[in-house]
Amino acid sequence: MADQYDMSGVHSANLKILKEVDRICRKYKIRYGLDAGTLIGAVRHHGFIPWDDDADVYFTRGQYEDFCKVAPRELP
């Protein structure tokens, strides 16, 4: 099944986004986690699920609000 998909461009873009989220969260000590297919992919595939086309991140409400405050000035 995985051979039918070439999601390398999508996975590359998702990884770039996740690295940027991680950079911002580390800088401001905002806690977050991976969820759903992104978490499963990290554990089971040591990367992304071959056919998955998104990245799943979760925050608590307070951490999300903190992220939303700093993201506009941090994101290009």
Which two structure tokens, joined as six digits, stand for 72? Answer: 């506009």
* Average pLDDT in the chain: 87
pLDDT of 50 > 90? The answer is no
How far apart are alpha carbons 22 and 1 in whole angstroms? 31
Whether residue 33 has pLDDT greater than 80: yes
Any idea where the domains of the chain sit in the sequence? 31-76
pLDDT digits (tens, 9 = 90+) for 6-26: 778 888 898 898 999 999 999
Instruction: Supply the pLDDT for residue 6.
Output: 79
Please measure the distance between the N-terminal and C-terminal CA atoms of the chain and give it in whole angstroms: 36
CA distances for 17 relative to 2, 4, 21, 57, angstroms: 23, 25, 6, 11
As a whole number of angstroms, the distance between CA 10 and CA 5 comes to 11
- Band of residue 53 on the pLDDT scale cut at 50, 70, 90: confident
